[in-house]
Amino acid sequence: MQSEQQRARRNTIPDAIARAVRRDPERIAIRFQERSWSFRALEQASARVAGALAAWGLQPGDRVAAFGKNSDAYLLLWLGCLRAGLVHVPVNYAMTRKEAEYIIGQSGASAVFADPALAERVDGLPCRLHGTLHGGTAHDVLQAAAQGPLAELSPALDDEMPAQILYTSGTTSAPKGAVMTHRALLAEYASAIACCDIRAEDRALAALPLYHSAQMHVFLMPLLLMGGTSLIAESPEAGFCLRTIEAEGLNSFFAPPTVWIALLRHPGFDPARLGTLAKAYYGASIMPVPVLLELQQRLPALGFYNCYGQSEIGPLATVLGPREHRDRPASAGRPVLNVETRIVDETLRDVAPGEMGEIVHRSPQLLTGYWDKPEQTAEAFTGGWFHSGDLGYMDEAGYLYVVDRIKDVINSGGVLVSSREVEECLYTHASVGEVAVIALPHPRWVEAVVACVVRKPGGGVSEDALLEHARASLAAYKVPKRIVFVDDLPRNTAGKLLKRQLRDDYAALFDD
């Protein structure tokens, strides 16, 4: 039980929300479809959800899995868990039953709440409580938000308690659960507010998945704490985003590069439709510079922000602001308010400006560790710095350039090739709409550079023509051994390219 002095000094996420409510209680905090929630109503509803969760037998520290698409109910479960001292475990709604079972089991979740349309994927999994996010069972989050017993903040709540376990994508191994405390996330919210220029007057479209740390923790939650308004959408379909930004007069939008590319290529794209948009955020994967330059040319009044990081740091680590884009369009910016970043060699020594090394961080935003994985935690924090797994370099002014994920660097005949560099080159061809460069097994080179290309509508470029285009700009060892033309590139629900799926699909390309 906390003392009176501890309660007076407590600073958890619900405490921060309470301050936002008191500043402007009747202002609209979120909208989803036809439902609007003022700040006062949102706080009261989350208190009722917290009361219902306790009435259903959940105790502080229990893990609660959320398996649903974007909705107001999804956000209310997150906020209710925070008030009740529970640990929220977001599960990617595109996961199969087997994948969801791993995360729910590994986290030791006591409860899982799912969209009715997704419930069959988690029915029968070993949890004490199975409920729905909306429109379902007796244990229903949206119903609880209207009828549940009001709950005060859990007396056990403090800022070092876990708020969420964020599972990594698991591209090379089983997903790991990054344990994020209230303190870590609040430090990250402060960084996002300061470095992404988030203001109370902002009206944002929140269309990327809320299970993903970028949409939830870089944009929606910081804007909520500042007193702004978020329109929650179920998905970032390009036509819907264009219509909504135009109709609602929104000024803020975050999307990964794949979604910005989809907007550019949509037949209904017109710069005039985005006339109210002032802040354009991108991240979650590397933006090809040719695409960025096209966006800037077609939307010259728009301020672009490159946001780089990963789930384990909340996820925001660096930002390149609008004024900095002119001189350094390929940069990921400089470390944000609460992050210290270095580029190091294998002995954790700083490398010279312009020299490649691993990106490492120190920050109060960092995870406390990977859930029930002490060896992986110790490895990630070797030398007292968090190891990102990304390769990059810094220039003399301290601007970061992300070269590639270490696992995406291609070792072709003993020479390292950055997949990003090859992608940047191919994007400069007028007929290339999207491209992903991968490594495939090769009998001579061990790994071969292969480009998977989506042609623009009407773009009839051949493999030979693209290879000739690449030879004009790249050293011979960087030129793809093959160009594979595809109708589209696989991506997850957060918009990230799934290079591992491409590697699986074309693993036998050089078997003949």
Q: Tell me, what CATH number does 235's domain have?
A: 3.40.50.12780
Q: For residue 180, is it within any domain?
A: no
Residue 499 — very low, low, confident or very high, per pLDDT cuts 50/70/90?
confident
Burial class (CB in 10 A: 0-12, 13-18, 19+), 461: middle
d(CA 47, CA 291): 44
Residue 360 corresponds to which tokens in the numbers above? 């490492």
Domain-ending residue, one of 387, 406, 425: 406
- State the residue for tokens 């989803």: 32
263 and 124 within one domain: no
pLDDT exceeds 70 at position 216: yes
d(CA 404, CA 384): 23
User: Given this model, what pLDDT does residue 174 score?
Assistant: 77
377 and 237 within one domain: yes
Contact (CB, 8 A) for 289 and 323: no
List the CATH number of the domain containing 57. Answer: 3.40.50.980
Cα 384 to Cα 169, 263, 314, 348, 377: the distances in Å are 24, 42, 18, 10, 11
Pairing of strands 386-394, 357-362: antiparallel
284 and 203 within one domain: yes
The arithmetic mean of pLDDT across residues 276-283, rounded, is 96
Residue 275 corresponds to which tokens in the numbers above? 């006339």
Cα 454 to Cα 435, 478, 479, 483, 492: the distances in Å are 6, 20, 18, 10, 17
383 and 318 within one domain: yes
The arithmetic mean of pLDDT across residues 371-381, rounded, is 96
Domain-ending residue, one of 369, 388, 406: 406
- Of 19-28, 109-118, 169-178, 410-419, the one with minimum mean pLDDT is 169-178
Phi then psi for residue 125, to 5 deg, are -70, 150
User: Given this model, what pLDDT does residue 487 score?
Assistant: 93
Helices (H) and strands (E) in the chain, counts: 17, 25
Amino acid at 215: Q
Tell me how many domains the chain contains. 3
Average pLDDT of the chain, as a whole number: 93
80 and 127 within one domain: yes
pLDDT exceeds 50 at position 105: yes
User: Given this model, what pLDDT does residue 403 score?
Assistant: 84
Q: For residue 167, is it within any domain?
A: no
The arithmetic mean of pLDDT across residues 142-164, rounded, is 93
The arithmetic mean of pLDDT across residues 427-438, rounded, is 92
> For a pLDDT cut of 70, what percent of the chain falls above it?
98
User: Given this model, what pLDDT does residue 173 score?
Assistant: 60
Q: For residue 270, is it within any domain?
A: yes
What are the DSSP calls for 66-86, one per residue? EE--S-HHHHHHHHHHHHHT-
User: Given this model, what pLDDT does residue 302 score?
Assistant: 96
Phi then psi for residue 492, to 5 deg, are -85, 180
List the CATH number of the domain containing 439. Answer: 3.30.300.30
Residue 170 — very low, low, confident or very high, per pLDDT cuts 50/70/90?
low
Contact (CB, 8 A) for 228 and 204: yes
**In Å, how far from its chain's centre is CA 135?**
27
pLDDT exceeds 80 at position 2: no
Q: For residue 178, is it within any domain?
A: no
d(CA 55, CA 48): 10
Which of the two residues, 495 and 300, has the higher pLDDT score?
A: 300
User: Given this model, what pLDDT does residue 171 score?
Assistant: 45
Q: Other C-beta atoms within 10 Å of 454: how many?
A: 17
290 and 219 within one domain: yes
User: Given this model, what pLDDT does residue 200 score?
Assistant: 98
Q: For residue 179, is it within any domain?
A: no
- Domain containing 304: what range? 188-406
84 and 202 within one domain: no
Q: Other C-beta atoms within 10 Å of 142: how many?
A: 21
Collect all residues with Cβ–Cβ distance below 8 Å to 5 and sequence separation of at least 6: none
Query: Over the range 333-368, which residues count as b (16 or more CB within 10 Å of their CB) and which as e?
Result: bbbbbbbebbbbeeeeeeeeeeebbbbbbbbbbbbe
pLDDT exceeds 80 at position 437: yes
358 and 281 within one domain: yes
The arithmetic mean of pLDDT across residues 339-351, rounded, is 96
388 and 281 within one domain: yes
